[in-house]
């Protein structure tokens, strides 16, 4: 069976973007996992991200879609249109770009085997709930000043807070393909979504300048949490946790995690998730000791190198 794979400018059509979002919601409800990551959902409406899109439609209904950000791709087929070759047709439109398989379901595995693809990245979603969450959501034990984004801006000024946040983020994630190398514009775009809450970003401040000697406080680390209200009941996410270079090796990771979990339980969370690379074995074990369990698997498939 052949399919008409169309290259489209989705950001030029609010109607088409809404149709794809509806298809993603339908697929998420069926699979229990979102078929597109957050940035790829943003890319449906935000032309600044520069995503390219391909769709397969039938009688005006979106049946399948692929998106490419220039370094990786994501694609999905709505449940009612699967097992007929649409996924293969879309993969051929984006190949040889590495492709994410959220959930790594049987269909994705079969396509990868047929195309001779290897897993080159494995991302885990881990979750903590109920009593384990309450036990971990403790007031952080630290001599550093703990303040959320809104409080920090009021005390230290917006420019200083954002510059320190960028510095800590880029030091913590200098190795990371998506989270590293941010500039001010990228940080501010991260604060644009409706879910962003200034009180949900927790900072640790060195107000005494014990490391830098600066008169303005230096940010030791941050815990950016996210609240998911697209489902009922809502739940929390350990969105990003990072430490500045000068504050590593001081056992601040645990207190930062505690601070964010405490914030989310205060908002009513009974479940909190986080994403972690599967090959980061020490982190995975540390989260398991805290009470997190593996809930989802996400992988990147890429053409085999010989």
Nearest CA among 281, 276, 279 for reference residue 125:
276
Q: What's the mean pLDDT in 101-128?
A: 97
Is 85 a known ligand-binding residue?
Answer: yes
- The confidence score (pLDDT) of residue 198 equals 97
Residue 81 above 80 pLDDT? Answer: yes
- The confidence score (pLDDT) of residue 214 equals 56
Is 146 a known ligand-binding residue?
Answer: no
Is 99 a known ligand-binding residue?
Answer: no
> Which one is predicted more confidently, 282 or 109?
109
pLDDT tens-digit readout, 268-301: 999 999 999 999 998 899 899 999 999 999 999 9
Residue 149 above 70 pLDDT? Answer: yes
Is 288 a known ligand-binding residue?
Answer: no
Domains of the chain (ranges; CATH) run: 6-115 (3.40.630.30), 126-297 (3.40.630.30)
Is 83 a known ligand-binding residue?
Answer: yes
Is 131 a known ligand-binding residue?
Answer: no
Is 247 a known ligand-binding residue?
Answer: no
pLDDT tens-digit readout, 27-42: 999 999 999 999 999 9
Is 237 a known ligand-binding residue?
Answer: yes
Is 18 a known ligand-binding residue?
Answer: no
Nearest CA among 179, 230, 178 for reference residue 21:
230
Residue-averaged pLDDT of the chain? 94
- The confidence score (pLDDT) of residue 305 equals 64
Q: What's the mean pLDDT in 206-219?
A: 74
- The confidence score (pLDDT) of residue 91 equals 97
Give the percent of the chain with pLDDT over 70: 97
pLDDT band at 209 (very low <50, low <70, confident <90, very high): low
Is 20 a known ligand-binding residue?
Answer: no
Is 275 a known ligand-binding residue?
Answer: yes
Residue 206 above 70 pLDDT? Answer: yes
Q: What's the mean pLDDT in 51-65?
A: 96
Is 77 a known ligand-binding residue?
Answer: yes
- The confidence score (pLDDT) of residue 306 equals 54
3-state DSSP of the chain: CCCCCEEECHHHCHHHHHHHHHHHHHHHHHHCCCCCCHHHHHCCCCHHHCCEEEEEEECCEEEEEEEECCCCEEEEECHHHCCCCHHHHHHHHHCCCCEEEECCCHHHHHHHHHHCEEEEEEEEEEEEEHHHHHHHCCCCCCCCEEEEHHHHHHHHCHHHHHHHHHHHHHHHCCCCCCCCCCCHHHHHHHCCCCCCCHHHEEEEEECCCCCCCCCCCEEEEEEEEEEECCCCCCEEEEEEEEECHHHCCCCCHHHHHHHHHHHHHHCCCCEEEEEEECCCHHHHHHHHHHCCEEEEEEEEEEECCC
Is 57 a known ligand-binding residue?
Answer: no
- The confidence score (pLDDT) of residue 232 equals 82
Is 262 a known ligand-binding residue?
Answer: no
Residue 119 above 60 pLDDT? Answer: yes
pLDDT tens-digit readout, 91-105: 999 999 999 999 999
Residue 211 above 80 pLDDT? Answer: no
Is 177 a known ligand-binding residue?
Answer: no
Residue 88 above 90 pLDDT? Answer: yes
Is 172 a known ligand-binding residue?
Answer: no
Is 242 a known ligand-binding residue?
Answer: yes
Residue 47 above 80 pLDDT? Answer: yes
């Amino acid at each position: 069976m052949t399919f008409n794979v169309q290259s489209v400018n989705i950001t030029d059509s609010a109607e088409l973007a809404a149709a794809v979002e509806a298809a993603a919601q339908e697929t998420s409800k069926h699979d229990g996992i979102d078929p597109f990551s957050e940035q790829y959902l943003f890319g449906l409406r935000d032309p600044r991200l520069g995503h390219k899109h391909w769709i397969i439609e039938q009688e005006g209904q979106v049946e399948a879609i692929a998106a490419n950000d220039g370094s990786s791709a994501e694609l999905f087929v709505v449940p009612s249109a699967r097992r007929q070759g649409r996924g293969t047709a879309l993969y051929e439109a984006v190949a040889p770009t590495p492709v994410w398989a959220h959930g790594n379901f049987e269909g994705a595995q079969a396509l990868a085997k047929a195309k001779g693809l290897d897993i080159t990245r494995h991302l885990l979603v881990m979750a903590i709930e109920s009593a384990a969450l309450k036990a971990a959501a403790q007031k952080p034990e630290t001599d550093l000043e703990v303040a959320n984004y809104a409080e920090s801006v009021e005390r230290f000024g917006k420019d200083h807070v954002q510059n320190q946040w960028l510095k800590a983020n880029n030091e913590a994630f200098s190795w990371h393909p998506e989270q590293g190398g941010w500039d001010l514009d990228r940080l501010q775009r991260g604060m644009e979504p409706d879910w962003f809450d200034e009180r949900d970003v927790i900072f640790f401040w060195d107000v005494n300048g014990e490391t830098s000697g600066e008169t303005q406080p230096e940010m030791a680390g941050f815990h950016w949490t996210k609240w998911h209200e697209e489902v009922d009941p809502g739940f929390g996410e350990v969105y990003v946790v990072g430490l500045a270079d000068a504050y590593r090796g001081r056992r601040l990771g645990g207190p930062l995690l505690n601070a964010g979990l405490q914030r989310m339980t205060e908002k009513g969370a009974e479940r909190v998730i986080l994403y972690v690379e599967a090959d980061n074995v020490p982190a995975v074990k540390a989260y398991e000791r805290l009470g997190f369990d593996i809930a989802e698997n996400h992988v990147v498939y890429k053409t085999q190198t010989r």
